[in-house]
Every structure is written in structure tokens, then in C-alpha cells.
Amino acid sequence: MKAETESVIEAILQRVAYCAIPVSWRTDNPFPGVGNRKGVRRGPGLDFLGTALFQEGDDERHINWVATAQAGDDDEVYKTIYRQRKEIKAHIFVDVSLSMDYGSERSTKRGVAAEVAASVLYALDKTRDKVGCTVFSRDTVHEVVPTRPARLNLIPSLVEILETDAIAQSQLDSKPGDGLSKAVSILPNSRQLVFVVSDFMNMSKADWESLGNLATVHDVICIFVQDRRERELPDSKSLGRLGFIYRIQDASGESKWVYNNERTRRQWRANWKAHEASISAAIAEFNCELLILSTEENESAIVSVLNLFAGHG
């Protein structure tokens, strides 16, 4: 790990969202001791479900003496029923295409993606769940951090997100393009909680189809990362003598110059609104959750992530 990466990670860890993610499909059966996976802790479970009549063969340690006394019937003994919480698995897909290195405000889009990944890992660590991380770009899959307890994958995942060189490693792929499609192909068919963090600027037709197929099996949350200068050009009066010429970075990561006049700014805003609407509509069609984050956001970004986690069901 590079020295500068270590300092960036320390700053990122100051901006994580400390909130567990509720998952409605964590358990398939309300009764303890049933299922094809063991719970994350020993015992009948932690979530109180209700009471029922004690039957012959039931564990006497589960007798609810308060409910039995309230019933007032010497022939009826009640027991407590717990819900067994099962371990889930999750995966984070992070886009590190060249367009993700753009940022005109507090951070680059890649930096915001790293903050989101750190928040997801912290959240899943609270429930002792396992999570993997895949770093991809427009052309290829760069690194796959295997599914392990979230705490073990925190630093390795952030290092891969921050240090991956998309240009150098994409040259190793004999078939460029369809990066997300290649990335999601590694997931097994068993249901997982999946996060896709990207600016969605480099999506091919195969990538969109793969995202739709992914959502039919898994619980998918899309984090749409963007920058203020992608949405609007600055006021030319604030740029001084060169106010009518402005440099912007396009989706390929290359810089280009634009004439920054009122007509251009108006068309720029309209083009972005259409672009954002098309991405939002495609994600909504797949029944994926969507959160939009921008590089200039500070505390509000943390609040948005907390609301996303808390509202997920």
C-alpha cells in the first residue's frame, strides 16, 4: 500500500456511515433451529417472535414464566419463540473507469465510491456478515477481493479501489468492453445483497442486460456517483479572462474544451437531465434501489447513505 493511499484511507474512515442494514430475507423460517444455514450466533436466536404453548419435547429453558403466570391456567405452560437470524452474503462492485477519476469539488468520484464501500463494509460488520468486493472498469475486471468477514476486507478493498490503474490493467484484457457484465458473472446464483457503485457512463448494452439479470436473483442497490460540473458549467463571470473557454473531462477520461456561454450552459444542463433520467429509469425498471451522490457533498452524503441503509428492507 502506498503512503498516500494510507492517508486517504484514514480520511475515508472518518466519513463512514455507522448503521446496520436491515435485510428482510435474512431468515426463511420464523422458528429456531430450522434452515439450511447456521445462525451468526449460538442459541435459538436474538429476535423475540412471540409465545406459544409448551409442548412435550420442547427445551425447558425456553419456558416463559411471566406469560404462564398471566394465563392463570395450571394446565397451560407457555414458551418463548425466537426468530433465528441467518448470515447473509454481500458483494460490492466498484467502477474505476477513467471517468471515475474526475472530480471538481471535495473529492473525485472514485474517492466517493471508496467512501461508500467503506460504509457498506462497516454496516455489514455490525451484523457479522460476509462481503466480497470486485473492482472493474469499462473494459475489464481488475481485482476480486474474496468473500470474507467484512472487517477482514475493509482495508484490502479500499486499497484496490484507490490504487487500481484502469489504463494499465485494461490492456491485459483480450476482449475490451462489457466490464460490469464480466464482473457480475462471478456471483453464484444464491441470493446476495449487491451494491453497484458507478457513474454509469461506460455501460454497454451487455452491461445493462447483466444488471437486469443480476436484479432478478439478488437484492441490488445502485449508487450513482456524479460531479457538479457534469450537471452544470460554472458561471463564465467567475472564471475571469478565460470565462468563455472551459475544460471538462468526458466519459472516456479525456479532457475537452467547451465554449462556456449561456446557450452552452443551458444545453449542458438539458443534456445532463436527459442522461440522468435515462439511467434512473433503467435502474428503476430492474427494481433496483438507487442513491445519487455527488462529489461536492460533505455531511449530507453521510446522511443520505444512513437513510439508504436504514430504509432498506
Please report, for residues 205, 239, 241, 258, the alpha-carbon distance to residue 262 in angstroms, rounded to integers and kept in the order given. Answer: 34, 14, 16, 12
How far is 187 from 191, CA to CA, in rounded Å? Answer: 9
Q: How far apart are the first and last CA of the chain?
A: 36
Helix (H) or strand (E) segment spanning residue 52 = strand 47-53
- The pTM score is 0.79
Residues 6+ apart with CB under 8 A from 265: 232, 233
How far is 220 from 91, CA to CA, in rounded Å? Answer: 10
Mean pLDDT of 5-18: 90
Domains recognised in the chain with CATH numbers: 3-23+88-311 (3.40.50), 28-83 (no CATH)
Residues 17-68 have pLDDT tens digits of 888 888 877 654 444 343 443 444 444 445 566 788 888 888 888 888 888 8
Residues 249-308 have pLDDT tens digits of 665 667 777 777 888 889 999 999 999 999 999 999 999 999 999 999 988 899 999 999
Residues 230-255 have pLDDT tens digits of 898 887 665 555 556 667 666 566 77
